[in-house]
Amino acid sequence: MSDMLKSYRFREERESDWRKLDRILTRAENSGVKALSDEDMMALPHLYRQAVSSLSVARSISLDQNVITYLEGLCTRAYFYVYGARTSMGERMAQFIRIDWPEAVRGAVFSTILAALFLFGGAALAFFLCLQDMDWYWTIHGQTFGEIRTPDASVDELLSTIYTEPGDIGQDRLTAFAGFLFNNNAQIALFAFALGFAFGIPTAWLLVWNGVILGSMYAVFWDKGLGYEFTGWLMIHGATELFAIVLAGAGGFVIGGAVAFPGRKSRLASARDSGRKAATIAMGCVIMLIIAAVLESFGRQLINSDTIRYAIAGTTLVFWLLYFYLPRRRPGT
Amino acid sequence: MSAQATTPEMQVHIEAARRRRARMAEAQRLNKMVRVLVTPEGAQLHLKLATAAERAGAFAIDVAIQWAIVGGTLLGLSFAVSSMGFQNWNIAFAFWLVFYFFVRNFYYIFFEIGRKAATPGKRALGLRVASRDGGRLTANAVLARNFTREIEVGLPIQFLLMGGDQLSAWMALFGLLWSGVFLFFPVFNKDKLRVGDLIAGTWVIKAPKAQLMGDIAQVSADAPRNAMFAFTPAQADAYGIHELHVLEDVLRQSTADIKRQVAERIRTKIGWTVQTGETDLAFLEAYYAALRRSLEQRMLMGDRKTDKFDVRR
């Protein structure tokens, strides 16, 4: 009918294709790519391009609000679907473990050294202060009831916290404690990462403070001549856990550095590029802390030999160092 | 001209001009929230950014869901443990703590990495996360934007709960102000970015699913009606695009009473006499088609008549 509106005819000719695209998208969004038939997959790019061109034409010839709103929404959804990532969760995880994580860590060597200096610098500071005058311990920790590991404790009491007797009643309580510790440590790690945004200053403070707590505790054991035993007790999981905390801090410094000194990029672009890398490091820290918690709750309670403890600590440390820093061929090159 | 000299007729004009200005200011404000994305095909997509209020609403829904999950599992766990006589409750609690950490930090990540790039709260409000450069939303970006949530929301709450003696109260106040910068970050930048969005290179857009409704012009394609409603060119040209869109809304979603009033006003404006057997709905639909035809024809010649006050020609 020649008397019809142009925009009406335009719509009439294309409407069934729009609806078809809509149906395919809805199915794909709800149940994934696997729900699409081969026929749908073949039709999708064509339907998408048609919808996008319909939208540009509709904007210039049609005054039907509903059509334009509908097409706008349809094209946006289709765009994100067609150009979005369609890798499965498994593939993403494999990519993360094999490439993204070690690469991000390797790219942040300077920040990692800086974070390690803050953590262990804080530890060394507190260690030597406490060795000279044990009152520093109380200044740092305050008076806490129920804590056995204080300067006032005897050698036997301290030893009892390091080794577990067979049939110890406190064993499952320690497991609960490990869960609590993981929760706490992982939250601190994420905090250290996130606080990097404020130019890394709070991150540095957080690292130093955790180092101070560690160093003062170390001094208590060292003072009683238990340095060797305590190191084994701490490092069986500490090699992983402290490494994770250092890396979380490094993630924070990466962002802080990018925000403070963007170089040739704009501050926003610099923050964006480094933020994604740093987030990869932080995600890796969470994984490391889970491993540390497992080592802590099972390894430490079941293994009471210093030699084996040292062996495990050494092995994990070497493993992490090789995993992160061993030069490797990039896949695809 | 003094205020006393204004006639009622002039006051109507002044009121109309005031309303028009307000409408245009509103359109301009909404326009500020639109970002143009050029697809690889060269077509333009108009993305609407989510407002700070919408994002706060989505966040509130998500937090409620998180609390429900955490509270529900704790309740279920304590019930199970008590029925087993409190054996190994420590281990159960340890696992719950780890679970709690993951719900707290990975709830958002889990859903935003997924196909819809939105948490249930965002989905309820028609929002989704997108990469600012128009590329694909990577897992790294989702991780980055969610790991900072802890300082944006957690930190102010921690400072709020801090207190005690006077010194620490001052510290808490200072900390609250400092961390408040992170919390209210989205309100103070034009793209409504959270700190997390900033470092992840993402933003949150509004992409609701619209329904395609029938074309109103279709109804008036019936031949007998066309003969009944023969509008003159002047009559069909009395309004602009704004009024056409209002009329579309009226026809799609209003009561019979409103339709009657609108029909009444249009008839008065264009000087239309009611014919025998004419209903308000039929009149409005016919007039909609006529107005749209006239406006679309103008538009093809590159002339958009924005509203009835637009009288360039």
Q: Does residue B277 belong to any structural domain of this protein?
A: yes
| Residue A256, min C-alpha distance to chain B (Å) | 11
B131: helix, strand or coil = strand
Q: How many domains, in total, are found in chain A? A: 2
pLDDT digits (tens, 9 = 90+) for A36-65: 888 888 899 999 999 999 999 999 888 888
Task: Specify whether B272 is located in the same domain as B188.
Answer: no
Q: Specify the pLDDT at position A1.
A: 40
- Pick the last residue of a domain from A30, A54, A86: A86
Question: Among A159-173, B131-145, B183-197, B296-310, where is mean pLDDT lowest?
Answer: A159-173
Q: Specify the pLDDT at position B221.
A: 61
**What is the spatial distance between Cα B66 and Cα B8, in angstroms, rounded to a whole number?**
59
Task: Specify whether B40 is located in the same domain as B133.
Answer: no
| Residue A222, min C-alpha distance to chain B (Å) | 31
Task: Specify whether A212 is located in the same domain as A171.
Answer: yes
Report chain A residues whose CB lies below 8 A from the CB of B217: 5, 7-8, 64
Task: Specify whether B99 is located in the same domain as B26.
Answer: no
Contact A180 B45 (CB under 8 A): no
Please give the angle made by the CA atoms of B45, B51 and B55, to the nearest 5 degrees.
Answer: 110
Task: Specify whether B78 is located in the same domain as B115.
Answer: yes
Contact A179 B94 (CB under 8 A): yes
Contact B215 A197 (CB under 8 A): no
Q: Specify the pLDDT at position A171.
A: 55
Give the structural domain span for A55.
Answer: 6-86
**Intervals of chain A under pLDDT 50:** 1-2, 169, 333
Q: Which residues pair with B34 in a beta bridge?
A: B48
Percent of chain B predicted with pLDDT > 90:
15
Q: Does residue B93 belong to any structural domain of this protein?
A: yes
Task: Specify whether A82 is located in the same domain as A96.
Answer: no
Report chain B residues whose CB lies below 8 A from the CB of A285: none
pLDDT digits (tens, 9 = 90+) for B61-98: 999 999 999 999 999 988 888 887 767 777 777 788 88
* A/B interface, count of CB pairs below 8 Å: 202
Q: Specify the pLDDT at position A2.
A: 44
Question: Residue B252 pLDDT more than 70?
Answer: yes
Cα within 13 Å of Cα(B103), Cβ side: 19
Q: Does residue B310 belong to any structural domain of this protein?
A: no
Residue of chain A whose alpha carbon sits nearest to that of B132: A272
Report chain B residues whose CB lies below 8 A from the CB of A199: none
Strand runs labelled E in B149-221: 202-206
Q: Does residue A1 belong to any structural domain of this protein?
A: no
ipTM given for this complex: 0.83
Report chain B residues whose CB lies below 8 A from the CB of A76: 45, 47, 205, 207
Task: Specify whether A116 is located in the same domain as A180.
Answer: yes
Q: Specify the pLDDT at position B1.
A: 47
Give the structural domain span for B23.
Answer: 3-44
Task: Specify whether B134 is located in the same domain as B255.
Answer: no
Cβ-nearest to A80 among B130, B149, B215: B130
Q: Is B312 exposed, middle or buried (0-12, 13-18, 19+ CB in 10 A)?
A: exposed
> Chain-wide mean pLDDT for chain B?
84
Residue that wins the pLDDT comparison between A274 and B312: A274
Q: How many domains, in total, are found in chain B? A: 3
Question: Residue B224 pLDDT more than 60?
Answer: no
Mutation to test the B interface, candidates A19, A71, A76, A281, most B Cβ within 10 Å: A76
Confidence of residue B158 (pLDDT cuts 50, 70, 90): confident
Q: Does residue A167 belong to any structural domain of this protein?
A: yes
Q: Does residue B102 belong to any structural domain of this protein?
A: yes
Tokens of B156: 């102010």
Contact B210 A69 (CB under 8 A): yes
Tokens of B149: 């949530």
| DSSP states of A270-319 | HHHHHHHHHHHHHHHHHHHHHHHHHIIIIIHHH---HHHHHHHHHHHHHH
Contact B292 A85 (CB under 8 A): no
pLDDT digits (tens, 9 = 90+) for A189-235: 888 888 888 888 888 988 998 888 888 888 888 888 888 888 888 88
Q: Specify the pLDDT at position B58.
A: 95
Q: Do residues B172 and B162 touch, judged by C-beta distance below 8 A?
A: yes
Q: Do residues A29 and A62 touch, judged by C-beta distance below 8 A?
A: no
Question: Residue B225 pLDDT more than 70?
Answer: no
Question: Residue B122 pLDDT more than 90?
Answer: yes
**What is the spatial distance between Cα B26 and Cα B242, in angstroms, rounded to a whole number?**
13
Task: Specify whether A196 is located in the same domain as A70.
Answer: no
Residue that wins the pLDDT comparison between B215 and A24: A24
- Pick the last residue of a domain from A45, A60, A86: A86
The model carries a pTM of: 0.81
**What is the spatial distance between Cα A167 and Cα A17, in angstroms, rounded to a whole number?**
72
Report chain A residues whose CB lies below 8 A from the CB of B98: 179, 182-183, 290, 293
